[in-house]
Homo-oligomer: A and B are copies of this chain.
């Protein structure tokens, strides 16, 4: 199959969507991004790589980074982390606070903000220098020592982070945050400020398509069983309130971020990432969602 041609077609067939949606505005630094970017990158486990557009421009990966922090927590404590965070989809966002209270401070899953805060709390507890350790981990996975935080984005999120601060305090009131709220939030805001390009993302996520082993070095990051479970979580919980829609139209495990990036994997086959900054009302990239839908339709490569 001519994958480069498929990427070409996808690019032209989704061009009409570039202006649709809105750039995330609640984080002032993110609102400054040029909304005309579009990039796509495809890595096969067997080694082939295809890309198009701004595939090598770095952007704020935001919630996509929650996959990295979750991986670190699983490596450190394995399944015990699921005593503090669930594995179920979260339903509508509007009642997330109700749900968190109703379920005694146990977030529904590690990808909603409350869950990612609990995971952050775990890493802050377990690691000497959690921010450095996080960067080291991502750099190893990506075989790229240049990947880093964007301090301006982290600072910008902190300034407007009232809702996340509310969540962290609610978790604390239920006893499900062990460190100081400020320390956990500082880690969390840095996590979300990591910058990567589409090319770097799709290459890095190959590890999750490869049963948890880094393709080149064969180093085991997660056990086969751990990788399977992480992928299952991406499938059911990776897209805020659109996990069902993504599963339905694209049919791959994946994760999105409000920076406009999306990355998805096909276990044992490939990893694909796309970036277009304008978001739909659920917080997912408008053009990115359509591009991935077209990819699995054209290539026939979905898990279902």
A interface residues with partner B (beta carbon < 8 Å): 86-92, 94-95, 97-99, 101-103, 108-109, 162-163, 165-170, 172-173, 181, 224-225, 227-229, 231-233, 235-237, 241-245, 247-249, 251, 253, 267, 297, 300, 302-304
Residue of B nearest to A88 (CB): B244
Pick 10 A–B contacts, CB within 8 A, sort by A: A88-B244, A89-B90, A162-B170, A162-B181, A165-B165, A166-B173, A231-B251, A232-B247, A232-B304, A236-B236
> Contact between A248 and B225 (Cβ–Cβ < 8 Å)?
no
> Contact between A236 and B247 (Cβ–Cβ < 8 Å)?
yes
Residue of B nearest to A168 (CB): B166
- Which residues of the partner chain B approach A243 to less than 8 Å between Cβ atoms? 88-89, 236
Q: How many copies does the complex hold?
A: 4
> Contact between A236 and B95 (Cβ–Cβ < 8 Å)?
no
Closest 6 CB pairs of A and B: A91-B91, A89-B89, A88-B244, A166-B169, A162-B173, A231-B304
> Contact between A248 and B267 (Cβ–Cβ < 8 Å)?
no
State in angstroms the CA–CA spacing of A303 and B209 once bound together. Answer: 11
- Which residues of the partner chain B approach A172 to less than 8 Å between Cβ atoms? 162
> Contact between B162 and A166 (Cβ–Cβ < 8 Å)?
no
State in angstroms the CA–CA spacing of A86 and B245 once bound together. Answer: 9
State in angstroms the CA–CA spacing of A231 and B215 once bound together. Answer: 29
State in angstroms the CA–CA spacing of A235 and B231 once bound together. Answer: 12
Q: Shortest beta-carbon distance, A57 to chain B, in Å?
A: 30
State in angstroms the CA–CA spacing of A87 and B267 once bound together. Answer: 23
State in angstroms the CA–CA spacing of A113 and B162 once bound together. Answer: 17
Q: Choose among B95, B163, B181, B247 the residue that contacts A99 (Cβ–Cβ < 8 A).
A: B95
Q: Choose among B108, B173, B241 the residue that contacts A163 (Cβ–Cβ < 8 A).
A: B173
Q: Choose among B166, B167, B232, B303 the residue that contacts A267 (Cβ–Cβ < 8 A).
A: B303
- Which residues of the partner chain B approach A267 to less than 8 Å between Cβ atoms? 303-304
Q: Shortest beta-carbon distance, A16 to chain B, in Å?
A: 20
> Contact between A245 and B163 (Cβ–Cβ < 8 Å)?
no
> Contact between B232 and A87 (Cβ–Cβ < 8 Å)?
no
- Which residues of the partner chain B approach A162 to less than 8 Å between Cβ atoms? 169-170, 172-173, 181
